[in-house]
Amino acid sequence: MLQKTQDELFVCGTYACSPSCKTYRIQQTLDGGINYRQIGSLSNAKGVAPYLPQSNSTALYAGGKIYTATELHFDGNEPVIYNGDIRVQRNSMMLNVPTHFVSSMEYEDKIYFFFSEPAVEYINCGKAIFSRVARVCKNDQGGKILLKKEFTTFFKTRLNCSIPGDYPFYFDEIQATSDMHKGNYMSSSDQSNATDMIYAVFNTPQNSIQGSAICAFRFSDIIHAFRGTFKEQKGKDYNWQSAPLDSIPSPHPAECANSSTVIDDMTLNFVQEHPMMESAVPAFGGQPVVMATSLTSTFTQMAVDWQRRAGDGRYYDIMFIGRSDGYVLKTINKGRGSAIETVTIEEIEVFRNKPFTSMKIFRNPNGEEKLIVVSAHQVKTIPLHRCHLQKTCSACVALQDPYCSWTEGKCENSINGIQNIYQGVNSSCPADPSTTKESTRVTTPAPAVTCAPCICPQPTVGGSQTSPLNNNNGKTVVTSTASSSPVDGAGDKKKDQDIKNSSAEALPNGDVRVAAASVGGGETAYSPVVLGIAVVVAIVVSLFVGFLSGYKFSTYNKSRRRDNIDTSYKEPNVELQKSPGPDYYSSNFNDNSGGYKDVQKQLNVVLNIPKNPSKLPNGSPETKVHVPENQQKVRKVYL
């Protein structure tokens, strides 16, 4: 949907893989409402609208013409930038497949397109996706003969959104951009420091570490990059290098001529072979403004409330960032000077696990301001601020939200109240009711008592002991009390009282008697050092016992397995004997049992072992069957 004129809308749709467009005119109704009336008939939108809803495309109206970047065919193998009359030439150096178009915008006498594509200049080193910005002149009419009906002012360059360092970490895949406006990536007390710029959303590849970033780009840096040198490739087997300065035509090919039909052929040949600029567009500030890593979500869309004045008198660009899980983040850069210190003010769930497809900030003359968010199936609005949710001054200031300040006992959208964006704390805030209810107590520490060396108590009998009071030359006499054993059922009383508190008693002569804490029930109190040593010793002993037990058990199992080996596999001594005749089986048949009798017959085997068995071919002894002389005529032998 595009605004064609002040009162006309241009609406296109896929129409079941047959893209078409309509024009609607906005009309006021008698009751003050708005009505849309179709003008003309349905028009073919091939090259204007995509074939599929999930295809990436962008378009805008400028100078009475529509500029589109979309897919020309259903299979998506021919990306195109088209203005209704001329197009970008069919060449992988111009637009490589697949191309992911993001946005387009008009600036001065040029149209800029933001997209990502496989990097043709990196193909000799592998595959990589680069983010690009391309531009054409609005008055481009194509060449007279060469490049006829094709853009003569199409050039592109890389957008550099990376973490700086010796080995920069790049966010290569652009996802969305904000609208172009005057802004500043850092807060400033003077709005005159704002410049024409955009913010863009970048992600890492899907098979990489999942990361997202927001980078700012000034249009002055973009224009400077297109006025520089060009990249060239002398042959298919050569790397891309910077074109020599003496090979660049004059005037510079990136300049918009009054008429493209009068450009000489030498310049047009250079344009065909050098569509890519040498210098990349650097990020405003030299690094991303916002970065985030997550295993479940990435940044997809964003919108910016430009140069919002806060209560501290400084101007901030407030960014609303949409994530793939349906959350909206409100962030600012609170840093002073060139420092980047990002603050996430709010995180609001709008769609449950649904990515955003578009975000816009809406304001009307009545003072109403909202954020319009769009997914594949829903459109919602959310407020730009929710100051009223904070009930105390400290909570309101801790938001660090340029919209919110503490005014007249409440948190509201104002710049005249108490606020501190940089620190989130303001000493002007009154005490919160929750803290005033709590009474304050001043605790006086107990005076330190310095005791002379203790005099150990003498052993006692029967649960009582006497302290050596006669030896009280010092200032302190120490006595120890011990609990007596329970007698006559008194042991049930205070069984859980194990340790008695120590106490100090002043003696008449000025000395101090300190009653040491005694352990009830005759138990002994151990120091932490003794307990620690006991635990360590217990662990070592248990490990040793466990190892020894396991070793003995494994040895026992091995011995049992050796004893249980089946000896039936040992080869028995077998002798060979002549088989009995048929009468033998008939005589040994048991009529009662229906089977043969259990008759043990021994086979006679004679082993003739030579004196030198090694002379045999296989080194084994020779085995012969011995047959009696009176039975040598038998030819059949039963084994």
**Across 63-77, 316-330, 433-447, least confident range:** 433-447
Predicted local distance difference test score (pLDDT) of residue 358: 94
Distance CA 137, CA 254 (A): 9
Nearest to 426 by CA among 398, 449, 446: 398
* 617 contacts: CB under 8 Å, gap ≥ 6: none
**Pairing of β 623-624 and β 315-323:** unpaired
* pTM, 2 dp: 0.68
Task: State pLDDT tens for residues 156-187.
Answer: 999 999 999 999 999 999 999 999 999 999 99
Predicted local distance difference test score (pLDDT) of residue 565: 54
Nearest to 11 by CA among 28, 19, 26, 23: 23
Give the confidence band of 76 by pLDDT, cuts at 50, 70, 90: confident
> Bridge-partner residues for 11, per DSSP?
22
Residue written as token pair 């660090």: 400
CATH 2.130.10.10 domain range(s) in the chain: 2-333
Q: 390: helix, coil or strand? A: coil
Reply yes or no on whether the pLDDT at 521 is more than 60.
no
Q: Which CATH number fits domain 385-433: 3.10.150.10, 3.30.1680.10, 3.40.640.10, 3.40.47.10?
A: 3.30.1680.10
Q: What are phi and psi of 281, to 5 degrees?
A: -80, 120
Q: Rounded to 5 degrees, what angle do the CA atoms 349, 354, 356 make?
A: 85
Single-letter code of the amino acid located at 21 = C
Predicted local distance difference test score (pLDDT) of residue 443: 41
Our CA dihedral for 119, 124, 125, 131, rounded to 10 degrees, sits at -10
Q: What is the mean pLDDT of the chain?
A: 80
> Bridge-partner residues for 113, per DSSP?
104, 134
Nearest to 516 by CA among 531, 500, 540: 500
Reply yes or no on whether the pLDDT at 63 is more than 60.
yes
* CATH T-level assignment (fold) for domain 2-333: Methylamine Dehydrogenase; Chain H (2.130.10)
> Bridge-partner residues for 202, per DSSP?
174, 213
Nearest to 470 by CA among 451, 481, 459, 455: 455
Reply yes or no on whether the pLDDT at 475 is more than 50.
no
Q: Distance from first CA to last CA of the chain, Å, rounded?
A: 101
Residue pair 35/9 in contact (Cβ under 8 Å)? The answer is: no
CATH 3.30.1680.10 domain range(s) in the chain: 385-433
Reply yes or no on whether the pLDDT at 212 is more than 90.
yes
Distance CA 162, CA 16 (A): 40
Q: 514: helix, coil or strand? A: strand
* 69 contacts: CB under 8 Å, gap ≥ 6: 57, 58, 59, 79, 80, 81, 82, 101, 104, 113, 115
Task: State pLDDT tens for residues 78-114.
Answer: 899 999 899 998 888 899 999 999 999 999 999 999 9
Give the confidence band of 31 by pLDDT, cuts at 50, 70, 90: confident
Tokens of 416: 């005249």
The percentage of the chain sitting over the pLDDT mark of 70, rounded to a whole number, equals 73
How many CB atoms within 10 Å of residue 426?
18
Beta strands in 195-298 (DSSP E): 195-203, 211-218, 231-232, 241-242, 290-293
Distance CA 58, CA 49 (A): 9
Predicted local distance difference test score (pLDDT) of residue 455: 57
Tokens of 472: 């009280």
> Who wins on pLDDT, 208 or 597?
208
